[in-house]
Every structure is written in structure tokens, then in C-alpha cells.
Amino acid sequence: MPFIKAKVNVPVTFQQEREIKSLLGRAIESVPGKSEKYLMIIFEGNCRIWLRGNDTESAAYIEVSIYGNESNYGYNGLTIGITEAFSKVLGIQPGNIYVKYDDIQIWSVNGITIA
């Protein structure tokens, strides 16, 4: 299951969350075998983010966790989709959007561990 946690230092409305969710749902398809059907997303708006020594620019820090993709296939396309989503919907400049990837080797859901 892919998981995306987004922290931004701007307010995010429910409608904006829904729009970003849809865009991320399409972007996750850049990774072979992944789709919105299994995507989990957490949004955290109004976070304190210091970038380049100040907190006056809008910014985003996004963590992406993906199971079963040790070769990182599709990450470039996913990064482009993530950047476009947050730039388009929240007006955050692409240079202020940072994406961190975690390759998950073991994942548990529904009381079952998948390794």
C-alpha cells in the first residue's frame, strides 16, 4: 500500500484536500502496480516550516512510503505529479516542495504482516 504524508505551511480546505487527493491518485499510477485504490494520504496544513532561514514562503514537505519497489520504478513521474498537485492547488512554488521516499520492506495491514 502506498502512503503519502503531506505537511504544508498554508491552510488547506477540505475541497483542496479532495482535489489534491485525486491528483495524487493519478500520480501514484506512475509506480508499477500502484493505484489510488490502495493509497492512504494524510494532510497536515498550517505547519511551521522554516525554509532557507525563514518561515514566510509557502512550502511543502511530503513523505512517500511504497512497499515492494526496491528499484524505485516510476518515482520520477510520481515526483512530477506530486509537485504539480501542490503547486496547482495550493500555489506552492515547485522549488519549495520537497519529497522524501521510503522504500518499505515489511508492511502490515488487517493483522497480517507482508514481507
Q: What's the whole-number average pLDDT of the chain?
A: 95
Give CA separation, 28 vs 55, 73, 81, 111, in Å: 30, 11, 8, 25
Tell me, what's the pLDDT at 37? 95
Instruction: Locate 86 and state its grid cell.
Output: 501542490
Domain boundaries, the chain: 3-114
The residue written with cell numbers 514562503 in the block is 57
- Tens-digit pLDDT profile for residues 30-51: 999 999 999 999 999 999 999 9
Tell me which of 1.20.58.740, 1.25.40.340, 3.40.50.2300, 3.30.429.10 is the CATH number of domain 3-114: 3.30.429.10
Q: Is the pLDDT of residue 1 over 90?
A: no
**Position 96 confidence tier, pLDDT thresholds 50, 70, 90:** very high
